[in-house]
Amino acid sequence: MSHDAVIIDVIRTPVGRGKPGGMLSGVHPVDLLAGVLTAIVDRNDLDPALVDDVIGGCVSQIGEQSYNVTRNALLAAGFPESVPGTTIDRQCGSSQQAATFAAQAVLAGQADIVIACGVESMSRVPLGSSAAGADPFGSRLRARYPEGLVNQGVSAELIAAKWGFSRDELDGYAARSHALAAEAGESGAFATELVPVAGVDRLVDETVRPGTTVDSLASLNPSFRTDALAERFPDVAWNITPGNSSPLTDGASAALIMSADAADKLGLEPRARFRAFSVVGSDPLYMLTGVIPATARVLERAGLTHADMDAYEVNEAFSSVPLAWLAETGADVAKLNPRGGAIALGHALGSSGTRLLTTLVNQLEATDGTYGLQVMCEGGGMANATIIERL
């Protein structure tokens, strides 16, 4: 008997601009997620009644994404009422955590087949709306950080200042992301992972801007500078702009995860297996740096090194994050986000984890690679890391 947790399939919608008028903005998030759930069982001729659980990521769980959007989506997808579903929030790593929980249930022998997924419609449920105008911190947390916590954009600025990244370096990395994503799209590299969205006649990623250059990004103004913040952080150059940040995005994605035994019984061919996981907390002021210790921990747990890795997916929340990760790990930049990252492909928060997993599996297959590492920075100072092995 083998309880190896294997990946049978990974899919995603194309990504849309997360603003009114974006190509997916007319689609309710329940319907958006239901579409990938339907597609992943149909593509694998799987009876959905066999699914033990559906675990979904979503960050803004309010309004149209409230009331357990994952359960609502699986019912909308026509799954039997006997199939349960739950929605989790580990900020930007929500669906990566969903995949981890799914794999861990299989590894523990407590589930045979689990779908990990995620959705975020930032056009319909705006970023920050889940706070509903209330204080999400409370007096005791504020007492611990009396100078005040900051948003992710300011954290990205602090990282850029700490590692000494110039505006040209930040914009250069952003231009690289768009160039690689455009090249991948034009070559058909995304064809096997993209699934259509009902009522949307486009099957391309709307956020990719071919032809983006450092010069074309140079005119953009800083996104997060205020006079008060500039006084508090006098060493910050304020170089984080919309051009070197991930855009607001709509999207959904899913991964079909099961035990090796279940796959064998169903005649399904595993594409990869999970080798190791890690999750860490980090300084919430520099909240995006958790990717560095999370990477070290997951490599140690897997008994592998950077030399063993064939591809990395490091979420591009802002250019300063993968640049700091590169500076600290010494990883091969050629293996980093080789199909572009979130600066080009968008960051549909709850969907991003399984979106990165989708891209990583396909990149390993296309290049005959063996090991891939995925790592995600998260709000509040956390990070998830996962190593997969192509089979």
3-state secondary structure 172-208: HHHHHHHHHHHHHHHHCCCCCCECCCCCCCCCCCCCC
Residues 119/13, Cβ–Cβ less than 8 Å: no
In the residue annotation, 92 being an active-site residue is answered as yes
Using DSSP, state whether 121 is helix, strand or coil. strand
Residues 83/74, Cβ–Cβ less than 8 Å: yes
CA distance 184 to 252: 19
Cα distance between the two ends of the chain = 18
Using DSSP, state whether 385 is helix, strand or coil. strand
In the residue annotation, 117 being an active-site residue is answered as no
Nearest of 262, 199, 279, 270 to residue 32 by alpha carbon: 199
CA angle, residues 318, 319, 324, in degrees to nearest 5: 105
In this structure, the chain runs to a length of 391
Active-site residue, from 3, 28, 92, 178: 92
Question: CA distances (Å), 204 to each of 14, 119, 140, 185, in order?
Answer: 6, 17, 46, 8
Q: In sequence order, what are the beta bridge partners of 314?
A: 375
At a CB cut-off of 8 Å and minimum separation 6, what does 293 contact? 280, 282, 383
Pairing of strands 309-314, 5-12: unpaired
Nearest of 181, 157, 169, 161 to residue 217 by alpha carbon: 169
Pairing of strands 113-121, 53-57: parallel
In the residue annotation, 347 being an active-site residue is answered as yes
Question: CA distances (Å), 92 to each of 88, 315, 380, 383, in order?
Answer: 11, 9, 10, 9
Where do the DSSP E strands lie in the chain?
5-12, 16-17, 53-57, 85-88, 113-121, 249-259, 272-281, 309-314, 371-378, 382-390
CA distance 61 to 80: 24
CA angle, residues 332, 340, 278, in degrees to nearest 5: 60
**Residue 288 corresponds to which amino acid?**
L
- Residues carrying an active site annotation: 92, 347, 377
